[in-house]
Structure 1
Amino acid sequence: MPIIECCGKTDVGRVRSNNEDAFFANPEAGYCLVADGMGGAAAGEMASQIFAQSAEVTFGNNRVPAEQALIECVQSTFRLANDRILQHVADHPHHKGMGCTAELLAFGASGFVIGHMGDSRTYRWRQGTLQQLTKDHSLVQDQIDQGLITAEEARSHKMRNVILRAVGVRPSPALDILRGSVLPGDVFLLCSDGLTDLVEDASISEVLRLSTHLNRQAEKLVALANDAGGKDNITVVLAAVLQT
């Protein structure tokens, strides 16, 4: 089983009055997550917290070593959170429209499993190279895939905040599951779009290249987003593989 170290940081940014993001990291149980709430004020914040709480229910405090069982835990977390948010909206109609994007990274005996929904992202830093593992479920990403706009144009596109998938918006949304192996020295970055909308991948790489503690790297990433305007809540979680 990989031995991992995790840390996370969230910040309201420089424009928003409340923080709708949430993160959680449990290195002993081998998982971490980022959720970015939507729906305004208390509703968005509640949606992201429901996702984090659902992961705690599903995973508990024990490692899940087998890959298939790990995949099922990840799927169960998204399903439970989706059902709970939908039920909350049914009970509180004034919260209609609430939901969250979410990244859930879990480690097992054979490597990692990622559950991904929305436009939050998971990256892997390995041997000096940063790789985006997830693909945004967004209108602009679809337009990039179709060759209608470039990635650079997408960064300032007026529809860049239109999300095509999210937790808690409709019954049984499609979930991306990714899996792979891990190496000692791998660092995984989970983040909300408050980071990636304002900070280029090259700048993220420069931070992760620094030989410093994960907490310092997380603080630096948040600072970069705030220095670039801090237009949204900013949340990052770093998970380093110390030993496999």
Structure 2
Amino acid sequence: MEPIRLAVNGRTDIGQVREENEDSIRCHSNPDHPFAYVVVADGMGGYSGGATASRIAADTLEKQFDALLSSTYLACSPAQQQLMLRAALVEGIGMANREILQTKQSRPQFSQMGTTLVAAAIWQDFLIVAHIGDSRAYLWNNYGLQRLTKDHSVVQEMIDAGQLTPEQAQSSQVRNHITRALGISEPVEATVNSWTLKESALLLLCSDGLTEYLDDHTIERVLATYRPALESVYHFIEDANQCGGRDNISAGIIEFCHRTDAVVEFSGDPITLQPKAEDDITVRKAQR
């Protein structure tokens, strides 16, 4: 069997309007094992607050992923490794949420901060994606583009209820209002999905500074057109900036190379991270 090959690239850009970049991105491909990840966090909450929240989230997930490939992990069965990867991701999200909440309590100037998060990791042919808010993950292969995440947002709820079309949502006055974020309350509810990858594919993670301007058809065209594929991140940033760049823009790509030919989803349930006993915060909505 042809070995799995993984490569990553990522970039974040301040855009054309904002005075600070409140996005954070982390990406890594292990040189010795078929393991790669991308983390994108889009902060909110005023000057410096959003940048602090997104950095906490990105740093926490980066540390979780970097610590994963221990000798114990490598000695486990594939099924056990998948469970351990999922547990590391879930634990990291909970840790990031608690650290943001604690920072808000100790630093009143950051009292409004929070962040979206989308994180993806590939181990062998196993892909896992977690998200909170409206930062997205997409998979592109020979079958086309598949959106792997559904926004936790007011307009997505309106679309689901039949009150808005996806086209109307693009120009809605509440399109930037999200219903979940890190740093708002305990517990934090992340949606976690996992797949087995059976053929070569590109995985894109991005903040809404990209998807505000580029619809799914445009995203698919960019991923299908540019080679080397990892350089697509630069085209995404440039396109969003040329369209106005009103928000910070982040894009990360994992290139997964495999010789076989299908994508099979085998799980996809939302998970709720359990709060510590002393936390009883019930805030539901987060607006950007």
Range into which the TM-score falls when normalised by the shorter chain: over 0.9
- Aligned partners of 2:229 and 2:43: how far apart in 1? 25
2:155 — aligned with what? 140
The amino acid of 1:54's aligned partner reads T
Aligned length: 244
- The runs of 5 or more residues in structure 1 that have no matched partner are none
- Aligned partners of 1:47 and 1:119: how far apart in 2? 15
SS at match of 1:41: coil
Alignment pair present for 1:176 and 2:212: no
Could you tell me how far 1:173 is from its partner in structure 2?
A: 1.4
- Please point out which of 221, 236, 247 is paired with 1:232: 247
Structure of higher CA gyration radius: 2
Alignment pair present for 1:222 and 2:224: no
**Is the CA contact (8 Å cut-off) linking 1:128 and 1:209 kept in structure 2?**
no
Alignment pair present for 1:185 and 2:200: yes
Could you tell me how far 1:69 is from its partner in structure 2?
A: 0.8
- Please point out which of 38, 59, 63 is paired with 2:44: 38
Could you tell me how far 1:7 is from its partner in structure 2?
A: 0.1
Identity %: 35
- Aligned partners of 1:61 and 1:128: how far apart in 2? 34
The one-character-per-residue Cα deviations of 1:43-72 (angstroms, maximum 9, x if unpaired) are 100111101110122222543661111111
Q: TM-score, normalised by structure 1?
A: 0.95
Superposed counterparts of 1:28-177, under 5 Å: 28=30, 29-63=35-69, 66-177=81-192
Could you tell me how far 1:200 is from its partner in structure 2?
A: 1.4
- The runs of 5 or more residues in structure 2 that have no matched partner are 260-288
Superposed counterparts of 1:189-200, under 5 Å: 189-200=204-215
Runs of 4+ in 1 over 4 A off after TM superposition: none
- Structure with greater contact order relative to length (CA < 8 Å, sep ≥ 6): 1
- Aligned partners of 2:239 and 2:125: how far apart in 1? 34
SS at match of 1:159: coil
Could you tell me how far 1:211 is from its partner in structure 2?
A: 4.4
- Aligned partners of 2:12 and 2:61: how far apart in 1? 18
